[in-house]
Amino acid sequence: MTRPTRAQRPAKTPETSGRRRDWLGWLYIAPLVLVLVPFFLAPLLAVVAASVFESDGFGGMTPALDLSNYWQVLTSDLTFNLYWSTAKFTFLTWLFSLIIGFFVAYFLVFHVRNPLLGLGLFLLCTVPFWTSNIIRMISWIPLLGKQGLINEALLKIGLIHEPLEFLLFSSFAVVVAYVHQLTIFMIVPIFNAMGRIDKRVVEAAIDAGASRFDIMRLIIVPLSKSGIALGSIFVVSIVMGDFFVVKVMSGGGSASVVGAFYEDVGVLQYPKAAASAVILTAVLMAAVGLILRTVDIRREITR
């Protein structure tokens, strides 16, 4: 984004450099500011403002400094239950997508000898993601249903005598759909981080008699940390910010934080919905902050 401005940069002269540097600095960040202010900061501020307004119950809002919306959200058991349920889905999705993503990336980087083949296989991983998430999600339904392929197959082999009901419209189904949708967000950054590990380090470790487990524990995992952290940020923020998968795959049997404030918007309770949104943003920022605290991504990436 900064490339065009860099090209225009005039030759530096010692006298003007102080002032000009200030001015140039602003120019460098201008494109980002131009995007962030109107499309991110302004809406966010509008939401924050709405969250303290008073509602007339019919979609009307009067400017006020009314913290009761926050109070209502923060003191209700519902909020706790919603966050608990969302956190559960987030954790499970994160765990499974991490395990799968890590090993897929590991295989592609360290087991496929031919780098071109590795890259080809990596691109192959992205093929399922060329279709829309919604299609990828709903295609699980005929598979998992009571009369779905899995149940039919199990019944036929005689492993079960009644269709398994937990497969569809359950937390299980939600996690399956999320893992299917989001594992790619783990594979990509971890693949990228692992790809930059110097293979000679691994060879040296082998020569020095390190076991496979030690290599994994002492070399590969630590050096893939940035990828793991980036992938985790993607997965955590997507699951926490989503409600559609939960709604469809749980058969409406589970609710999510975002789903709950979408319902509030449905009955025009804007201030309360805004307060919930602000709280969710804060929680997400805290979660991302926590991830970044464990891994200094900037250092890892510029390594």
Partner 1 sequence: MSTTDKTPPQRAVAKTKAGLDRRTLLKGAAAVAGAAAGSDAIRGFPTVWAQEIKDIELRHVGVSYSVVQAIGDQAAKDLGFKVTMQNLDTSAAINRFITQPNTVDIADVEGWQAKLAIKRGVLQGIERKRIKEFDNFLPIFTKGELNGHKIPRQGISPYEALYIAKKDATELHDGVADWLTNIPQVYNADSIGYRPDLVGHEVTEWKELIDPKFKGKAAILDVPAIGIMDAALCLESAGLIKYGNKGNMTKAEIDFTINKLIELKKSGHFRATWTTFDQSVNLMAAGEVVIQSMWSPAVAAVRVKQIPCVYAPVNIKNGKEGYRGWCNGMGLMKHLTGKKLEAAYEYLNWYLSGWQGAFVSRYGYYSPVPSTAKKFMSAAEWEYWYEGKPSPEVVKDPYGVPMEPVGTKRDGGSFIDRVTNISCWNTLMDEAAYMNQRWNDFKVA
State the residues that interact with partner 1 by CB under 8 A: 57-60, 76-78, 81-82, 85, 141-142, 145-148, 165, 168-169, 247-248, 251-255, 259-260, 262-269, 272
Output the smallest distance, CB 298 to partner 1, in A: 38
Residue number, 88 or 196, with CB nearest to partner 1: 88
Residue number, 4 or 266, with CB nearest to partner 1: 266
What is the spatial distance between Cα 64 and Cα 263, in angstroms, rounded to a whole number?
Answer: 23
Output the smallest distance, CB 249 to partner 1, in A: 10
What is the spatial distance between Cα 256 and Cα 242, in angstroms, rounded to a whole number?
Answer: 8
- Are the CB atoms for 104 and 224 separated by under 8 Å? no
Residue 142, C-beta contacts closer than 8 angstroms, at least 6 positions apart? 148, 149
3-state secondary structure of 9: coil
Tokens at 267, concatenated: 């009955």
Tokens at 90, concatenated: 């987030």
What is the spatial distance between Cα 168 and Cα 58, in angstroms, rounded to a whole number?
Answer: 37
Residue number, 168 or 188, with CB nearest to partner 1: 168
Tokens at 301, concatenated: 């990436």
Output the smallest distance, CB 74 to partner 1, in A: 13
Residue number, 96 or 169, with CB nearest to partner 1: 169
The dihedrals phi and psi of 54, each to the nearest 5 degrees, come to -95, 145
Output the smallest distance, CB 65 to partner 1, in A: 20
What is the spatial distance between Cα 300 and Cα 65, in angstroms, rounded to a whole number?
Answer: 43
Output the smallest distance, CB 83 to partner 1, in A: 10
Residue number, 168 or 186, with CB nearest to partner 1: 168
